[in-house]
Amino acid sequence: MPYRVSLSRLNTRFGITVTAKRTKVRKACYILGRNVDQMDSSSDAPVFNDIVTELLDGKATHSKYGYKYWYAIKGFIESLGQFLNNSEWYPADADVFWKTKAFKLYDIDAPMKIPTPDDFPTVFVLRSENMTDELLKELEKELGNGEQYWQVSGWIREAKRYKQDLVLFYH
pTM confidence score: 0.95
Q: What is the pLDDT of residue 41?
A: 75
**What tens digit of pLDDT does each residue of 87-120 get?**
999 888 899 999 999 999 999 999 999 999 998 9
Angstrom CA distances, 118 to 15, 20, 61, 121, 168, stand at 25, 33, 16, 9, 17
Helices (H), 48-94: 48-56, 66-80
Where the chain has pLDDT below 70, the residues are none
- The pLDDT score that the predictor gives to residue 171 is 87
Assess whether the previous peptide bond of 46 is cis (omega < 30° from 0).
no
Contacts of 27 (CB under 8 A, 6+ apart): 79
Residue 165 host element (H or E): strand 165-170
pLDDT for res 15 = 96
pLDDT score for 40:
82
Count, residues in the chain? 171
Domain boundaries, the chain: 2-170
